[in-house]
Every structure is written in C-alpha cells, then in structure tokens.
Structure 1
C-alpha cells in the first residue's frame, strides 16, 4: 500500500523539474491527491494514466509530429488532443526534454466552481461532472487552445495535496500495451471514471 503524506496545500511551482523530470508512471502516481484549477474551476486529481515514447500506446511512440510536439518537452506544460474526434483530453508533460512522455488526467473530484461545471456539462450529479478525461475537459473548458501552455501560469493553478491509498491497474480504452498497470487512482473514490479491479495493485 502506498500512502502519500507530508504534502501541504500551497501553490505548486510547476517549473520545479525535480518533480516533473521523472518517468511518467512516477509522476502519474504522485499526482493523485493534487488539485488542478483552470480559471478557478476544478478539484482534486483522483485518476491518471502514464504514457511514454517507448510505449506503443503513446502518441509519442512514432516520434515528434506537429500534433504531439508538446509531449517532447519542456515538462510542466499541457498537452491537449482530441479523442475519437469528439472529446478533448488533457495531459501533463513529464520527463526530460525529448523524452516524449505525459500523464493523462482521467478524473478529478470537483471542489470549486461546481455551478459552472454543471452548466458546461448539463449534469447535476457531482460524480458525473469530471469522471473521465473528456468529461473533465468539458467541465474545465479545456480545448486545443490550451495545448502547450505552462502549468505554473494562469489560467492554471496546481496545488500539492495528499491522497489515501493509491491503486494501479491496466489503462482504459487502448488496444496496444493494454497490460501495463499504468493507470493510477485513489482507492475507493466515487469520482473515478471506472472502478479498479479488486486485484488492483497498491503502491
């Protein structure tokens, strides 16, 4: 079991490369419990997925292209892409420059700006507002215009935070390298996009 402790709620210095310049699985796990806000709207990160250039499921696997260029650095920037031509998805770039890695933010627990999120999502239940990468981008009004923006500057704000037990398991909605346990979440959170299997790995 892995319990994240010792973090305090204060604005995070996203330019602090010691945190971001690591393998995306480490960053993805440690982001659970952090808070992300876009224009003051957002909440706690409860689910993430890691992607790396050596991973066949990653957009960076073929190498740099105009679409995925942001993934290759610098870290602590936002990579935004369109999923299936329908939903925007936001990722936090990690790793060393040129590494081609990022963390997909899959779900957050809404905390601030719920009325705004409800209007954008046309949903009332807080559990339905941000329980998936496309849903949370709609709730936070994330679009391709945010691609490449720094995470330590407006409209973004990150706050370090703590989480309960963190569980990992296979990623969702992919066909390549689906066996990798690179999906991370806060155990028992009702705001996950999908529950983790009971046999999910802790730590």
Structure 2
C-alpha cells in the first residue's frame, strides 16, 4: 500500500456523489484535524450512510429540521457534528441542498500525530484508539465547534489516501428502534482492517 502522498484537502467536487457512493469513496481517505496542540490524521476505514427523510435512522427522517439538523439541509461537504451519550460524532453532509443526508465516519486507522491522540485518549491497545465514532473524535480533537465547517478546508478536512482492496457491506450499528431501517446494508468498511469498530 503506497502511503507516500501529499496531504492536502480534496476538491469540493469530491463530495458531489450520491450518499451511499460517497460513503464508500471516503474509505481509504485521510481525515485530518489541525489544532493548537498539533496535527492528527487517520485513514477512514468505516462509514455509514444516512439517507434523510425516508430513513428512519436518520436525524432528518421526515424532513425533521431542528437547530441540530439544520446543517444537513446545506450543501455536500459540510461538517455535521453532534453529541450522543456524551460523545461527539462527526458526519459528512451529502446530497444536494434541502436533501438532508449524511455519512457518519465510524472509524479511522491512525496515521500522523499518534502520540497526541494517545495523550487525549490513553488506551492499552492502539487498535482501540480510534475504532469507533466517539473514540476517533476524542483522539483527534474533533468537537462541536467543528459544526458547519467545510471538509475541503483546514482545520478539519478530508485528503486523498489509498484505494481499499476490498470493501465490506452490512447493516448499520446502534440504531435499534428504527424499524426496517436497522437492516439496510448502508455500513461500509475496509475488509480486515483492525481499526473497524466491530
């Protein structure tokens, strides 16, 4: 796997894909966060697509428009962060304006700034550092203040990475109570990557 590349934000056009295609295209890309403490980055190895008004598991199901979900109605490539059970989760807004869809970044494989990540989130095993949506945001310093930023501009952005050899597909995780939506195969991950959440 060639990982010798320039780390710079992708173009805005990268995000102009149907949500489930974007969820797969993000795999292998680099998620980068710049803070006063330093720069951390990790390869995205797991995502979930949320298909908006018709998806009972989406925050915007039924076109629900609240202060929290407002950003989902914006253009593709915006940052949607929210808190769940004290954890901050980070999503890529997808689809078009007034089409409130998003891709949850569920796990990353640490690349740069690993020592800083470990200070923020001390763990015994490195594979537990960023193998979940709340874990990766804490390790990388991603928080509610990132809400509404653009994923193609610093300080929080997506950069080109590598092409996964094989992408696995299955149902999303942790969305009980969403009826048939909990069975939709809208979770994607880099097969056999140790940083996938489960």
Alignment TM-score, normalising by the size of structure 1? 0.86
Shift of 1:30: 1.1
Unaligned runs of 5+ in 2: none
Separation in structure 1 between the aligned mates of residue 80 and residue 66 of structure 2, nearest angstrom: 13
Conserved 8 A contact 1:14-1:151: no
Pairing 1:1-203 to 2, within 5 Å after superposition: 9-10=5-6, 11-16=8-13, 19-39=14-34, 40-53=39-52, 54-63=54-63, 64-84=65-85, 86-161=86-161, 162-175=163-176, 176=178, 177-194=181-198
When the two chains are superposed, the root-mean-square deviation of aligned CA atoms in Å is 1.4
Equivalent residue pairs, number: 184
1:134, 1:62 → 2: CA distance?
26
- Select the structure that is richer in helix: 2
Deviation digits for residues 12-58 of structure 1 (CA, Å, limit 9, x no counterpart): 43421xx3233211100111100111012021000000001121100
C-alpha separation in 2, matches of 1:88 and 1:25: 22
Q: Are the counterparts in 1 of residues 32 and 158 from structure 2 also a CA contact under 8 Å? A: yes
Unaligned runs of 5+ in 1: 1-7, 195-203
CA distance in 2 between partners of 1:102 and 1:9 (Å): 27
Q: Is the 8 A contact 1:132 1:192 kept in 2?
A: yes
| Residues 9 and 153 in structure 2, CA contact (< 8 A), matched pair in contact too | no
**Contact persistence 1:90–1:105 (CA under 8 A):** yes
